Structure 1
Amino acid sequence: MLYGREAEIAAIDELISRARDGAGGALVLRGEAGVGKTALLDLAASRGGPMPVLGATGVEAESDLAFAALHQALRPVAGLLDALPEPQREAVRGALGLAGSGDRFLLAAGVLSLLAEAAAPEGLVCVVDDFQWVDRASADALLFAARRLGTERIAMLLAVRGDLPVKGVPSLEVGGLPEPAAAELLDAGATIAAGVKQRLVALTAGNPLALRETVRRLSPAQLDGREPLPDPLPGGSRLFGEQVTALPDEARQVALLAALDGDLGLVSRAAARLGVGREALDELEAAGLARVTGASVRFRHPLVRSAVYESATPAVRRDAHAMLAAVADEGAGERAEGGAEGDRRAWHLAAAALGPDEAVAGALARAAARARDCGGYGDSATALTRAAELTPDPLIRAARLKDAAVAAWLGGLPGRAESLLAEAREHAGNDAALGTEIAQLRGRLELNSGSAAEAVRVLSAGGSLGMLADASEAASYVGDTAAMIEIGRRAEAYPEGFLRDVVAGIGAALSGRDDGPELLRRALARTGELREAAEFLWATAAASYLGEADLSAELAARAGRVARVSGMTGQLPVVLEFVATAERIAGRPAESRAISEEGLELAREAGYANTVAAHLANLAVCAALRGEEETCRRHAQEALAIALPHRVGLRASVAAYALGMLDLGLGRYAAAHDRFTALVAAGPGAGHPTTVWRSTPDRIEAAVGAGDLESARTALQAYEQWSAHAATAESRALLARCRALVSPSEEDAQEGFAEALRLHANPYEAARTGLLLGERLRRAHRPAEARPHLRAALEAFRQAGAEPWARRAHAELRAAGESGEAPAGSALDALTPQELRIAGLVADGLSSKEIAARLFLSPRTVEYHLYKIYPKLGIGTRTELARLVVLRKAPADVTGNL
């Protein structure tokens, strides 16, 4: 029976009730040892009625064994794996030791999908005790799922001791019992004087375990107040010290083996080697200190393990570890080096080691490789770090520290990666090849989470083409044109190839050389040979520096598609920076917003600060297009707070551009003109030439609106130079619009706008041109000709959700003599960004499983969203949904039939 836990029980019941109704969630129960968290988990497991229960318990001895907790939790439902999308299925199979493989994000999404399958049809309760000792790989996957249960019938509860941060999951503090409840608990077990009860509650802070165990150790005279209470009371690990000491020697030996490894088979074999029989384990159970559950030995409470561990000398503990390693090797035979037994053996050998030992270090390094191959990067980093400590050769130690840094980086631990890398540099000595690898990784770490300018400095010192390419990328993030030109010049010394041509071409193009565009065109001609997401991003850069924003956006979208279905090695948040920008440039701000929301969440989980800034900046632009002033300013300021001190000029400039677009959309031309002008003047670390080039059509429009025609003409001259080698229709359309805006001849201006309309492929940009032409025609007293353009622009703006622009078009339309309310937007406007993305993938012909694999959702979540989408749109089939999406994506007729 639980005493005094009404509030906690109510919170648990509410969580389970919501999950039963299809609104799942997670809750962290946080409190000190012995406060009753396990009892609350047991209660939760019993409150779900027909809902099945999955559970796991973190074990300190297994906290370095990748996926140990997932094995406990998911083994009962492994038979449901076939229902998962293939990439997720293989990732989970790999984590469970079933011969699959995968990476961090695919594994996490697969865990979510498998839990969702297990939740059908009654729902599911998932409880994890002692979460502070769950291995890092399992913890990452479980938390990924916990933060995404809103549409699943799953209630997840995690019990945590101490202050371990659990981001994104609400916590409930479980404190000591109030005095009345504590007194009731004491009355249920013994007759105790009122004053003694009050004193015991005060001294134990109402901790239930401390109360029970203390009372067991008090004499009748102490309980009835005839003798004073001992000072101090037994507490902490001392609660069970006497019971451990009282165990027979053989039972204490078994207890120590179980404290070092909870695997029943391993403990039994080690005990047999020591000549200890099964009776010793029976005695341990009879003492109430441990129990055998399935294939494990579990202590009654973690403090029992602490007491057992502390009762043994370091030498005795090392001997026990050595015995466990020996029987792990003996029992697993040829499999010892290839799976969980091999990992256990490696860790026990490491714990038994008294100094450097290459054989032990090598075993740990192989265990790290197995964890890495299944997506357990954090555990891989831990194993490699310990392997490095045991490595006698300095160069091999440095290489293992470097590999540990890579694993920590990919596991979302940038701070730890930086520390490991610094240690690797100390041991690398004068080895040039290893020093280059360490420097390149250091530069990549800086680019992801630190100073982009420092990344340029570090990477520019390298001599390989790969490092030069990374240096060029870093310089591009900073916006350092001079560095990009110099890096491009150095790249010319390497043989012709795709990457060399892009890096050299960008540098040559920025310096104004005629061969720059030729090199970039030659690189783009090899696009059909590209396979990796990173390669498509370089192609994106090549198209961008040719002035072809539309082709650049198309290539970025391809990078995103490749990244989602291939080994992403943790870099998906970075790829999504460019995919989100591509969607926005293509005139699909709602889709762009949804991608950046996903990327922002993943970037925060991965610890990629500069990528967080990128997604915040893009979200600011999307908010500006929608006219959401407060949201735009908030996102922009958050992005600038990261980008400016980190010298990430590309992202700082996008955030500043968002504020300019906000002013332009709301008709504040002078303010927009000032912001765009400041953007041009911003140097490396705050501004960026690509943002300046892409924003020039907006800058010209703002300058004209503010009455500064001279600035508009100066901007046009620069834009003509930047666009000189652009060949796509959309790039020519934007140039025609800019020329029309500054044309002194009204007739030439109207012809320029009409030419732009004939060339536009981007519906949003076409609408802006149609609005400008409609305004010119109305002010030239030709309202009948203006109205078709304004009407089409209004519809396109409403389709895109660009409300400020839609209001401007509507006002012009009314001024042109057309009365009535603004037409309703697309039915798709009723969808959330996530629903809109799912609708788009349905239109592309993807199944629910395929959509789930793309978006890191469970197939059931996809079906849930479709269930919500259909009534919103008044439809009932995928075919009808696809038809609506295709109509939305089709370029609007903003030509006025010219």
Structure 2
Amino acid sequence: MSGATRAAAAPRLYDRTSELAAGAALAARAAEGSGGVLLVTAGPGMGRTALLDRTVRECAIRAHRVGAPSGNRVPWSGVRALVSALAPTPSAARRAVRAARGPEGVAGALTALRPGEPLLLCVDDLHLWDAHSRTALDAVWRASPVPWAWVVSFAGHHRPPEVPGSRVLRLGRLGRQSAAALLDEACRAPLTASVRARLLDEAAGHPGVLTAMAARLSAADGPAGAGGGPPGSVTDDAVLSEVYRGLLESLPAECERVLTLVAVAGEPDPAAAGPGDVRPVGADAVLAAARAVRASPEALDRLVAYGLLRGTREALRFEDALLRRAVLGTVPPSRRRELRALLAPPAGAGAVVGAGAAVAGAEEEPDRLRAAEEVRAPAGVVRGRAELVRGLAVLADGPAGDAHQVLLLAASLLREAAPEEAAEARFFAMEAAWAAGDAEACATALGGGDDIRTRGTGLSDASTDAAERDFRDGMCAALAVRLHEARAPLARVVAHDGAAEEPRHLLRAGAAALVLGDAPTAVRVHARALAKVRAEGRTALLPRVLEHLAYAELRAGCHERAAAHAREGLRTAELTGQRNAAAHQHAVLALAASVSGDRHAVAEHAGRALGTARPHGLVQATTLAEWSLARAELADGLAAQAAARLAPLVGQGPRSGHFALRMLAVPCFVEAACAAGRAADARAAAEEFAVWAGLGVDPQAPAQLARCRALLAGADDSAHWYGEAVRHHEESGNDFERARTLLAYGKWLRRRRRPVDARGPLSDALVTFERAAAGVWADQARAELRATGGAVGGTAATSPEVAGELTPQQQRIAGLVAAGATNREIADRLSLSPRTIDHHLRNVFARLGVRSRVELSGLLARTAGSTGDTRHAPDARRTGP
């Protein structure tokens, strides 16, 4: 659709009075100097564009409608189209496009084009705009106050943008009287009373269908030739396919294939049913047939998430009955018979099946039908696929132990006839056991249900590929703490599966890399899996991949990147109803927030993680959440509380933490226990950690062990162990852990009256913490450095007078704003959302009595200058990114 300042002709609209009134009211607000956002959503053919055209035409102020550009996949193409519509001249448009650098630059560029002028902007088909432009518009709409009035339309099966204070209008079907008026206006051919009534009944008030059928009947010069749908129908399935074509073409290919399966499965026997009858469709049969048409289970999840399909597992149905007919209108009769054969229930265990409907057409196309029947799976495979889907559903939102058992059952059913799917079931059964913290159950899953705590797997090599055997052998050896046996096979898995195309294989390679302690490779492989899942549109798998990637980034010390991916994973998990994945993402966000020092975020995310993790038996998420709370307590100086929280996590027994995380939390426990006077507990944990470090699978362990020994050693030995810790950190590459060691070393030096010696490690720690956005740790390093008499640089801060008015988080945000950082940059740095930064910044403005970022910077500079402390003023030479 092309942009237009005014619609050339206003189409007559029916039953849209309230929607037009909402647009007029918004325009009136814009004329008075305030703006807002009105969101309009509907399915295909419901008149979104016509409503926007009419709104533009009747608007009392300057108005523009801009649709998705033809090159909508080109980054920033939408912004360029919008700028071109607003610019008074081509040269002004070019200048504005150059100025629109990033989301905040777009807001400035748009405002500069029409300064002080009230405008109504209608953005059509937002879901077809490029991602960069959508992000920029989202930032513009979140600004306060919202500039101008915006009316934004998007397809009904897409999630609306989250705009504070916006109103969402959903265009409904027309009433009977309005539908009749539209049909009479649009149809030039005479209609008999019976045809007219049946057409109104079948269209059910859908304006697009009524208009398209009117054109079809007019072209046919009367009702003759209508009725290309089920027996006795007036509407034409080919016309419905044209009305819904845009929707069908926008779906991923595998989603369209599953939608076709559901449509065909619900098709009644033409000889025994009326035109309106639809058979119930079971999800198990659809998912079993989906494999044969190269569609994954996630495709069905996406269609349900979109709202295109509704119902229960036993009875799926189309939300829109006309969409079902539109889908059927694209499927030739021969293809329908093939799909019915795939969907037919099995005649018996191990038997190849032919459906009754397919057999009826066997005489017409015996060869094609025979080929379709030959791909039918045995009854055990059908049940196995159904159990695999059920197990994945429980893994996403249910007790992890239950998911483990269901997935093992699926693996046993699929083992002989579908070994690749059996391998998939075993892998996810292992994931369920891993989430539950059950090492023995992990080993059982790797063996397809056999107990393989010894090496025997009970699984023949003929049923697995080499990479799967290596993964099985390597993981079993690692679970049994025979790491010398695990290294070679797991390294082969990383090399082989790390270059694979299938996301499950990439996840397997990433897991192997983490067990080997190679966090950078795990990050790289999981990032590749994320790219593949996004490219294939596998929404249901996306939260799990993001969870793996975020955890790998935590292990690599990339806390900000982990938080960014966890936020995306959380949104997707909530959208697709995967509460277990959401709990893991909350746990990652809590751990990242414990680094940045946002105590409120730690408590919120940890609480939400534990709210799901405890009842569902997610020991991994529970351990991460408790660990994050302990780190926040330790950073706040609550060492005894932190040690008490960590003690069970690093111990053994029923209250212990996750088997793969227990040793990772020991250095934090030792630090807390030493500060709390629990030296004996700290020493016992450190000795067990020394055994772990000696295995050589964690690159961080030698440095952390040396730091633990420095904390526990006497005055003469501590300096030696701190030196060893720093030397090992130089080889391991985790800057955050290195800074933790330097901070501890600097504290130790200062307390031994060596302030000059302490300044070096403290300064280094401060710079590193600031670069990592580890606010609370940076505050500790800054305080220690100040106590030595050293100069404290860093980001712009607040003066003591101003600091008394603000919380610590608000002080950090105010300092970063004064230093010139944007909301997005601050959000990335503090592992928060831009919306949270905006909320804090408004409170800062209110408390300090300022109205803009410029005034805030000026206030901080003046108060800093009045105290003679120039470190409080913005400094272009500040450290950090």
Would the alpha carbon gap of residues 783 and 670 (structure 1) be closer, same or farther in structure 2, given more than 3 Å must change?
Answer: same
Rounded to whole Å, the distance in 2 between the matches of 1:745 and 1:644 is 41
The alignment's C-alpha RMSD in Å is: 5.7
Report if the CA contact (8 A) 2:120-2:149 is conserved.
Answer: yes
Q: In the alignment, what sits opposite 1:11?
A: 26
Tell me if 1:500 matches 2:448. no
What amino acid maps onto 1:475 in structure 2? A
Tell me if 1:52 matches 2:67. no
Q: Secondary structure, in 3 states, of the residue corresponding to 2:138?
A: coil
Tell me if 1:543 matches 2:513. yes
Q: CA deviation at 1:707?
A: 1.7
Q: CA deviation at 1:789?
A: 0.9
Matches within 5 A, 1:473-484: 473-484=431-442
Q: CA deviation at 1:568?
A: 4.9
Q: CA deviation at 1:439?
A: 1.6
Q: In the alignment, what sits opposite 1:151?
A: 140
Q: Secondary structure, in 3 states, of the residue corresponding to 2:700?
A: helix
Rounded to whole Å, the distance in 2 between the matches of 1:263 and 1:594 is 46
Q: Secondary structure, in 3 states, of the residue corresponding to 1:27?
A: strand
Report if the CA contact (8 A) 2:506-2:526 is conserved.
Answer: yes
What amino acid maps onto 1:410 in structure 2? R
Matches within 5 A, 1:733-882: 733-742=703-712, 744-760=713-729, 761-815=733-787, 817-819=788-790, 821=792, 823-824=794-795, 831=821, 834-835=824-825
Would the alpha carbon gap of residues 149 and 691 (structure 1) be closer, same or farther in structure 2, given more than 3 Å must change?
Answer: same
Q: In the alignment, what sits opposite 1:651?
A: 621
Tell me if 1:324 matches 2:230. no
Q: In the alignment, what sits opposite 1:607?
A: 577
What amino acid maps onto 2:387 in structure 1? A
What amino acid maps onto 1:149 in structure 2? D
Task: Return the match for 2:389 from 432, 441, 445.
Answer: 441
Report if the CA contact (8 A) 1:693-1:719 is conserved.
Answer: yes
Matches within 5 A, 1:48-87: 51-53=63-65, 74=68, 77-78=69-70, 80-81=71-72, 83-84=74-75
What amino acid maps onto 2:547 in structure 1? E
Rounded to whole Å, the distance in 1 between the matches of 2:623 and 2:634 is 16
Rounded to whole Å, the distance in 2 between the matches of 1:754 and 1:415 is 60
Matches within 5 A, 1:660-671: 660-671=630-641
**TM-score, length basis structure 1:** 0.60
Task: Return the match for 1:388 from 265, 283, 288.
Answer: 265
Would the alpha carbon gap of residues 484 and 14 (structure 1) be closer, same or farther in structure 2, given more than 3 Å must change?
Answer: farther
Q: In the alignment, what sits opposite 2:286?
A: 400
Tell me if 1:627 matches 2:585. no
Q: CA deviation at 1:767?
A: 0.6
Matches within 5 A, 1:239-388: 249-250=191-192, 253=195, 256-257=198-199, 260=203, 262=209, 267-270=214-217, 275-276=222-223, 319=231, 321=233, 324-325=236-237, 340-341=241-242, 372-374=251-253, 377=255, 383-388=260-265
Rounded to whole Å, the distance in 2 between the matches of 1:750 and 1:7 is 72
Q: Secondary structure, in 3 states, of the residue corresponding to 1:657?
A: helix
Would the alpha carbon gap of residues 15 and 599 (structure 1) be closer, same or farther in structure 2, given more than 3 Å must change?
Answer: farther
Task: Return the match for 2:490 from 520, 534, 539.
Answer: 520
Q: In the alignment, what sits opposite 1:103?
A: none
What amino acid maps onto 1:466 in structure 2? E
Deviates further, 3-12 or 580-589: 3-12
Give per-residue Cα distances to partners, 1:541-596, cap 9 Å, x unaligned: 22322345455445444544555566655533332223333444433433333333
Would the alpha carbon gap of residues 551 and 667 (structure 1) be closer, same or farther in structure 2, given more than 3 Å must change?
Answer: farther
Q: In the alignment, what sits opposite 2:542?
A: 572
Q: CA deviation at 1:768?
A: 0.4
Report if the CA contact (8 A) 1:648-1:685 is conserved.
Answer: no
Rounded to whole Å, the distance in 2 between the matches of 1:586 and 1:449 is 28
Rounded to whole Å, the distance in 1 between the matches of 2:506 and 2:601 is 32
Report if the CA contact (8 A) 2:619-2:657 is conserved.
Answer: yes
Q: CA deviation at 1:723?
A: 3.6
Q: CA deviation at 1:628?
A: 1.8
Would the alpha carbon gap of residues 550 and 755 (structure 1) be closer, same or farther in structure 2, given more than 3 Å must change?
Answer: farther
Q: CA deviation at 1:368?
A: 11
Rounded to whole Å, the distance in 2 between the matches of 1:442 and 1:535 is 21
Would the alpha carbon gap of residues 819 and 790 (structure 1) be closer, same or farther in structure 2, given more than 3 Å must change?
Answer: closer
Rounded to whole Å, the distance in 2 between the matches of 1:691 and 1:832 is 36
Rounded to whole Å, the distance in 1 between the matches of 2:136 and 2:573 is 14
Report if the CA contact (8 A) 2:583-2:612 is conserved.
Answer: yes
The aligned length equals: 660
Give per-residue Cα distances to partners, 1:423-461, cap 9 Å, x unaligned: 699956741222222222222222223333221111112
Q: CA deviation at 1:808?
A: 2.2
Determine which structure has greater relative contact order: mean sequence separation of CA pairs < 8 Å that are 6+ residues apart, divided by chain length.
1
Rounded to whole Å, the distance in 2 between the matches of 1:38 and 1:558 is 42
**TM-score, length basis structure 2:** 0.61
Q: Secondary structure, in 3 states, of the residue corresponding to 1:689?
A: coil
Rounded to whole Å, the distance in 1 between the matches of 2:823 and 2:438 is 35
Would the alpha carbon gap of residues 432 and 268 (structure 1) be closer, same or farther in structure 2, given more than 3 Å must change?
Answer: same
Report if the CA contact (8 A) 2:594-2:602 is conserved.
Answer: yes
Q: In the alignment, what sits opposite 1:466?
A: 424
Report if the CA contact (8 A) 2:710-2:719 is conserved.
Answer: yes
Report if the CA contact (8 A) 2:557-2:735 is conserved.
Answer: yes
Q: CA deviation at 1:696?
A: 2.0
User: Which structure 2 residue ranges, 5 or more long, are not aligned?
Assistant: 1-15, 80-102, 142-146, 270-278, 317-342, 350-378, 416-421, 797-814, 831-852, 858-875
Paired-residue identity, %: 26
Between Structure 1 and Structure 2, which shows a larger proportion of helix residues? 1
Would the alpha carbon gap of residues 387 and 44 (structure 1) be closer, same or farther in structure 2, given more than 3 Å must change?
Answer: same
Q: CA deviation at 1:484?
A: 0.7
Q: Secondary structure, in 3 states, of the residue corresponding to 1:690?
A: coil
Q: CA deviation at 1:663?
A: 0.5
